[in-house]
Structures are given as C-alpha cells and as structure tokens.
Amino acid sequence: MDRHHNRGQPNSDGHQNRFSQERSSLKRGREHDRGNEIHARRVRPNESVSPQTLRVLRQLYDRDFPIYKQPVEVGFFSLDSKRNFWNDARLLRYYVEPEKCPNFNLRDGYRDRFVKRDDGIKEKLDHILRWILANSHKMQSKDATCPLGVDFVTWRGHLTKLLTTPYETQEGWSLAVSKLAGTLYISEVETEYARRNRDNRTERHEEMMYWGYKFEQYTCADEPQASPDSGGVVNTNEAFCTVVQTRLAEHKLLFSGEVDCREANPQAPPAPACYIELKTSAEIHTPKQRSNLHRYKLLKWWAQSFLPGVPKIVAGFRDNDGLVVHMETFKTSQISQLIKTEYNCWKPTVCMNFCSDFLSFVRKTVTEDDPRLVYLFSWDPHKDVTFTIHRDSEYTFLPDWFVKEITRLRCETHVPPRA
C-alpha cells in the first residue's frame, strides 16, 4: 500500500542543556544565567513553555499515519567529477537490467580505476543552496515573511536518519538548524563517534564501500540506448540529485537526494516515479539472514526511497568475494507489507510521526530568524533529543553569499498593501 497522500486526503529538565556561547545575549525569558550555564526555570503547572527535550520511545509515535503528500520534483542538479555544480541533469544515468545471476565482480577496478570523493570535506547544504539561488524564480511565494514558501530545507539523507531514529540502537546524530527569512535549514554535523569510525575503517571496509558504486557502474549507462561501461573509472564525486517538494503533516519540505538512475524507457512515468535506487547486500542463506535484512536494511532502504517518492529498489546480492550472485527488486510501496511477518518489526507510521514531531519541536525551539545562530539538536541511542545554542561558532553553516541573496529576495518579495 502506498502511503503517499494526494491532495491532502488519505491515504523535560533543562538542566541538561548547556548553551555554549553568547548565553546572556539570548533573550529567552524562561532561562536565567547562573554562572556558566543557563538553566531552564522550573515550570509551573499549565504554564506553556517550549519543551527542552523530545522523547524518542517508539510507542509515543505509534498512531495514525500522518499526511505525507506525494513528493513533486521541482528540479535537479548534477555534481561532476570535480564536484562542480551544474543546474541540469548531465549526470543522470539510465538503468540497464542485468540477468538474474549476473556474476558482476565488484572488486574489479578498486585499485586502478577508482577516484574516491574526499569525505573529510564537509559541503553542508551548499549544493542545495546553489540550486535554490539558481531557481528562486520558480519558488518565490507572495509571503514576504517567507519568500521561499517552504518551512524546511535539508538533504534527504538527514530526513532518513530522522525516520529511522526510533529504531536506531548504534549511531546518534547531530543536526544544526538555522532560520533565515522564515525557512528552517537543517544541516548535519558529524558526531565524534562517526568521525572515529571514518578514521578507523579497515581496508576491507574501505573496499566494500566501493562495491556499491561498482554495482552502479555495471547496471547504468550514460545514455538511454547505451550499454554500461564496466571498464571505466568509478568516480564517487559524480552525482545526480533530485530536488523535491512535499508536506509532512503541517511542515512544507524542500529537500534533495542523490538518485542512482532512471528507467531507460522514455515512456516511463515522470520523475520521481521513473527513478530507481540501487543497493548491494550480502547474499542470503538462512531465514535468520532474511529476517535481519527485513528488520534492519529494509528500514533504511524504505525510508530513503519513500521520502522522495522513488518507487523501485533494485538489489544485487553478493557473496563474500564481491560477486553479485542474485538480483531482487523491491517495490518501495510493498516493503511495509513484506516486513509485517517479522515479530516486533519496525513500522512506517512510527518513523513518519517521529519525524513530524521532531520538526514541530524544531519549529517551537528555533524562533530567532538569524543565520549566525545555530541550534544544535543532538541525539544518542536510548536517550532524548536535546539542543544547545551557538552564535558565530564553528557550527554556522549558511554561507554569506546565500544569506545576502536571500535577504535581497526578501525585499523584492515585498507585496504592496492593497488600496
């Protein structure tokens, strides 16, 4: 069952908060300074103040599925082999269906035909911001207080992390949020844990990360009628990204996500319905292994593709030597049915309601419209979501070139009062 909605129809203890900088400049009535920390004032019954934390227990989010409007592609962009931005689809690739047991060797080219993107360079939201400036004419709303007409701008990958949070037991996250011209921007900050993992990857792990990209090369062509070129170089700087707009409950979202390829048939439905997500996974021999795929991997795969409305996930199952021995296609809309036989399994509604409630929490918290102010929301498994506030810090992520342009737009969007 597809849970996208069309046209809106169905389908505590502030003591933990440490505001690290510029505490006294924050005119937040409910806090008062005590030495180095701002402590939340004790709340009287019935007093309405913004909560300081958000709880993450699954049972709190197990209610009716929220409205999630069918995502609409409002644009796309490409990142070339040098990570340059292009406001077009030059890096979109076309799917070429392999045979059922293709025997692709995913190890081929790892040593001699692989250019790896430098994942130490943090691009934050820059590419999306470039897209927004290049396409602002398409987005402008009449509301001078919110010229972009959306509540949130972020990467799809950040939303995927939010969706899977109620079921995540290993990795926490940190999300930086700033408000500019009425829109909230969410940009991930690498956690210490993630940074240590990145610095301590084994050679085997490094190689296995290549396998996913090599699989893309075996199954994608540069032109609709062409064949894949498995002899070419794999360059992970290259990307094609879709930009979609949708609404989750009362939150208007604009986000971008990398798309692996599209159906080669020109008669395929328009984007994002023609897009295909490619995955690799370890071969399955036992019921336990299948159950693990359903419980853990399919949650991530579903969340990632459901968000932008990508209907199809093509998986290559590989052995331990990196040979693809079996292909399987998953329809995104059928994954929730497929997993229902698993005992105590994840539920899409819990994922979506948590995300919606997190966005509401962010909206209540981030009230100051100031791009130099960053509210850093952090979460660790088995804990609540907490936040800290930082002014002109290492966390500031909206670049001056973007702030200047948006501020100019805001003035242009001024609607003259009616006579």
Minimum distance from residue 213 beta carbon to Ca ion (Å): 9
Q: Which is nearer to Ca ion, 38 or 315 (CB)?
A: 315
Contact 317, 328 (CB under 8 A): yes
Nearer to ligand 0WD, 238 or 263 (CB): 238
Our finding on whether 239 is near ligand 0WD (CB under 6 A) is yes
Residue 6 or 329 with smaller CB distance to ligand 0WD = 329
Assess contact for 359 and 159: CB atoms under 8 A: no
Minimum separation from the CB atom of position 202 to Ca ion (A): 22
Pairing of strands 183-188, 152-155: parallel
Any contact of residue 212 with ligand 0WD (CB under 6 A)? Answer: yes
Q: How far is the CB of 307 from ligand 0WD (least distance, A)?
A: 8
- 276 CB burial (10 A radius; 0-12, 13-18, 19+): buried
Task: Give how many residues touch ligand 0WD by CB under 6 A.
Answer: 17
Amino acid letter, 88? D
Contact 187, 283 (CB under 8 A): no
Candidate segments 61-69, 154-162, 165-173, 257-265, binder of Ca ion by CB under 5 A: 257-265
Evaluated on CA atoms 349, 351, 352, 356, the torsion sign reads: positive
Do 182 and 369 form a contact (C-beta atoms < 8 A)? yes
Among residues 1, 137, 36, 73, the alpha carbon closest in space to that of 269 is found at 73
Nearer to ligand 0WD, 104 or 155 (CB): 155
Q: Which of residues 271-300 bind ligand 0WD (CB under 6 A)?
A: 279
Residue choice 278, 350, 389, 409 for contact with Ca ion (CB under 5 A): 278
Phi-psi region of 249 (alpha: psi -120 to 50; beta: other; left: phi over 0): left
Angle (nearest 5°) at CA 27 between 26 and 33: 70
Q: How far apart are CB 212 and ligand 0WD at their closest, in Å? A: 5
* Choice between 259 and 362, CB closer to Ca ion: 259
Please say which residue, 187 or 305, places its beta carbon nearer to Ca ion.
Answer: 305
From Ca ion, ligand 0WD, none, which one binds at residue 119 (CB under 5 to 8 Å depending on kind)?
ligand 0WD
Q: Which is nearer to ligand 0WD, 28 or 124 (CB)?
A: 124
Q: Rule CB under 6 A: which of 15-74 touch ligand 0WD? A: none
Task: Give the span between the Cα atoms of 419 and 417, in whole angstroms.
Answer: 6
Q: Cα-Cα-Cα-Cα dihedral of 180, 186, 187, 189, to 10°?
A: 120
Burial 26-42 (b: 16+ CB within 10 A, else e): bebeebeeeeeebbbee
Q: Which residue is nearest to ligand 0WD (CB)?
A: 157
Structural contact between residues 361 and 387, judged by C-beta atoms closer than 8 angstroms: no
Residue 239 CB coordination number (10 Å): 19
Q: By CB under 6 A, name the one of 37, 108, 258, 380 that touches ligand 0WD.
A: 258
Pick from 117, 252, 326, 410: which binds ligand 0WD (CB under 6 A)?
117
Q: How far is the CB of 302 from ligand 0WD (least distance, A)?
A: 12
Asked if residue 272 has a cis previous peptide bond (ω within 30° of 0), the answer is yes
Check: CB of residue 71 under 8 Å from CB of residue 272: yes
Residue 388 is a binding residue for ligand 0WD (CB under 6 A): no
Among 374, 370, 409, CA closest to 391 = 374
Could you say which residues in the range 130-189 bind ligand 0WD, by CB under 6 A? 155-157, 160, 188
Between 306 and 375, CB nearer to ligand 0WD: 306
User: Which is closer to ligand 0WD, CB of 180 or CB of 189?
Assistant: 189
- One-letter amino acid for residue 233 of the chain: V
What's the closest the beta carbon of residue 241 comes to Ca ion, in angstroms?
13
Q: Which of residues 77-116 bind ligand 0WD (CB under 6 A)?
A: 79
- Rounded to the nearest 10°, the torsion over CA 295, 301, 303, 307 is -160
- Per-residue interface string for the shown chain with ligand 0WD, residues 304-333, x marking contact by CB under 6 A: x-----------------------------
Would you tell me which residues interact with ligand 0WD (CB under 6 A)? 79, 117, 119, 122, 155-157, 160, 188, 212, 236, 239, 241, 257-258, 279, 304
